[in-house]
Amino acid sequence: MGTENREKVLIVTGGSSGIGAATARLAATRGYSICINYRQKKIDAEGVAREIEREGGRAIIVQADVSVEAEVVKLFETTDSELGCISALVNNAGTLERQMRLDSMEAARIQRVFATNVIGSFLCAREAVRRMSTKNGGSGGSIVNISSGASRLGSPSEYIDYAASKGAVDTLTIGLAKEVAEEGIRVNAVRPGFIYTDLHMKGGESGRVDRLKTQVPMQRGGQPEEVAAAILWLLSSEASYVTGAIVDVGGGR
H or E element: which one contains 155? none
Does the structural domain 8-249 have CATH classification 3.40.50.720?
A: yes
One DSSP character per residue, 95-143 reads -------GGG--HHHHHHHHIIIIIHHHHHHHHHHHHH-GGGT---EEE
Known catalytic membership, residue 241: no
According to the model, what pLDDT value does residue 2 have? 38
Instruction: Show the 3-state SS of 14-28.
Output: CCCCHHHHHHHHHHH
CA angle 123, 136, 144 (to 5 degrees): 40
- In the predicted model, is pLDDT for residue 101 greater than 80? yes
Averaged pLDDT score across all residues of the chain:
95
- In the predicted model, is pLDDT for residue 4 greater than 50? no
- In the predicted model, is pLDDT for residue 82 greater than 70? yes
Which one is catalytic: 32, 38, 159, 162?
Answer: 162
Instruction: Provide the pLDDT confidence category of residue 6 given band limits of 50, 70 and 90.
Output: low
H or E element: which one contains 12? strand 8-12
Instruction: Provide the pLDDT confidence category of residue 201 given band limits of 50, 70 and 90.
Output: low
Global pTM reads 0.94
Instruction: Provide the pLDDT confidence category of residue 212 given band limits of 50, 70 and 90.
Output: confident
> From CA 207, how far away is CA 121, in angstroms rounded?
28
Q: What pLDDT digit, counting tens, does each position of 20-60 carry? A: 999 999 999 999 999 999 999 999 999 999 999 999 999 99
Q: What residues does each domain of the chain span?
A: 8-249
According to the model, what pLDDT value does residue 253 have? 86
- In the predicted model, is pLDDT for residue 15 greater than 70? yes
Q: Please choose, from the candidates 14, 28, 8, 135, the residue with its C-alpha nearest in 3D space to the C-alpha of residue 84.
A: 8
The length of the chain, given as a count of residues: 253
